[in-house]
Each structure stands twice: as structure tokens, then as C-alpha cells.
Structure 1
């Protein structure tokens, strides 16, 4: 799927979603996707930092995006496990997620997601996400 295909799928599958905009997938390559997220006030925690649930949601969305980019619009691919490491406080500015497909099997897909700000080597979080795939 292309970035436009993913945006159209997200709009259709999540019509009432008040989360990130559906054009947040900015690049897709073989086994890899990059998402961009611009936080708003409701994404903050005390200290003017982006909240943990927001970061985990972005990691999950990035994993979903890279998987769908490779298997097509499968709405019922679902998160079965998500491990997240908070590496440093996330400032109230653009946050990126790079998702790398580690394994795409018949029943499970595993993705490494790195969250960063400013430059790709300024990591603020890392996640390993596993998705259960339907019909495997």
C-alpha cells in the first residue's frame, strides 16, 4: 500500500478517530515506514512533555502502518503485544516514528519502532510490537 492508500484506509476504518491525522504516514519503503506526529495540548502530561500513552499509541500506529503497507488493508490485524522503553522526555514538538518490519509470518508480524525528535539518532523511545494476523 502507498501512503495515500494507507491514509484512505485509516479514514474509512476509523471514521470518528480524533487521534493523529490520517496523512501521518510520510514514507514507506520495503520493510519500513516513517510516521510524523505533531502533538496538541491533550497529548501532554505535567511538565509539558508528551504523555506515555500518546507515545505508545504512535508506536502501535506505526507498526500497524508498516504491516498493512505489506499485507494490504486488513482491518482485523490486531496488537497482541507491545513493549515500550521511554528513553528521555519527549518535548512538545514534532515526533517521528520509524517502523521496521522484523518478521512477517502467516499468523504474527513483529515490528521494531523507534521514536525520535529533531534527528533520527535523537531517540526518545523504542518499542517492539507484535500483531496477530487474521486467517493465518
Structure 2
């Protein structure tokens, strides 16, 4: 992004494997375990999966909200960085989360959709679900400030 051009929302700068290596390098290994794995990345969409662990549960045996927010934030980061390249200092400027259903101790899928990619700001929508894609457990919109 040093040339000042707005990245193309339809062109990936990084593959799923390159993204995984990049994410592994910027987060502490212990924290990284709680952030999920990249399943797939295509222009405009990334899918991540998190296998929740017992330490993520709150009373009632449901996954605690902060872990779902972390998954949403990282999914947004993944789809944005996939399109702009290795930019460690892209930072969350806003995260709005709606919790729709209880999240149990089974695999959690996060689908991140790139809504807008500009010079200084990127926006993504994150749909989090378990079991059935049409039964959301959470929905988030996330904005990232991009270094210029």
C-alpha cells in the first residue's frame, strides 16, 4: 500500500497458508490457540474455524462472549490483510457484536465478508455459526484503520 493505490477488493495479496504464517508470527503462541484457524480465503470472503476449549466456557456451559469477539476480530483482520498484504499495524477501530444464540462446546465457524476497502479504513461483516450456516449465534461488523 505504499504506492497510495486503493487495493482491489477482488484480488488477494496473500494465500491462506501465507495468512496463517503471518497471523502465527504476530500473536503470542498461547493466545494464537484461542483465535481459530483459517479454513479458506477467496476474494471478498474468508472462513475461519475455532474449536472451543473448556477454559472458554462460562456458567451454563456456553462459550464466553470475549472468545467470540476475538474470533470475529481476527476473521475481519484475515479478510482485510488477505487483500492488502502483510500490514501488521492495521488495527481495529470499531467492533459491534450481536449475540443471537448460546454457543456450545462444538466447532464454531466465522464467515468474514469484505464490505469496503479504502485507503484508510476497511469494513467487514462477520457471521458466526455452529452446525447450520443459517442459524447464526453471533453477528459482527468490524472496521479497521489502515496505516497510510
When the two structures are superposed, what TM-score results if normalisation uses the length of structure 1?
A: 0.94
CA contact (8 A) 2:36 2:51 kept: no
Q: Check if 1:126 corresponds to 2:139.
A: yes
Please name the residue that 1:101 is paired with: 114
CA contact (8 A) 2:44 2:113 kept: yes
Task: State the alpha-carbon separation in 1 of the partners of residues 29 and 38 from structure 2.
Answer: 18
TM superposition shift of 1:22:
7.4
Query: RMSD between aligned alpha carbons?
Result: 1.4
TM superposition shift of 1:12:
1.4
Please name the residue that 2:68 is paired with: 55
**After the TM superposition, which parts of structure 1 deviate over 4 Å for at least 4 consecutive aligned residues?**
none
CA contact (8 A) 1:108 1:131 kept: yes
Task: State the alpha-carbon separation in 1 of the partners of residues 72 and 25 from structure 2.
Answer: 21
TM superposition shift of 1:17:
3.9
Q: Check if 1:89 corresponds to 2:102.
A: yes
How many residues are treated as equivalent by the alignment? 135
TM superposition shift of 1:70:
0.5
CA contact (8 A) 1:11 1:22 kept: no
Task: State the alpha-carbon separation in 1 of the partners of residues 35 and 102 from structure 2.
Answer: 25
Please name the residue that 1:70 is paired with: 83
When the two structures are superposed, what TM-score results if normalisation uses the length of structure 2?
A: 0.87
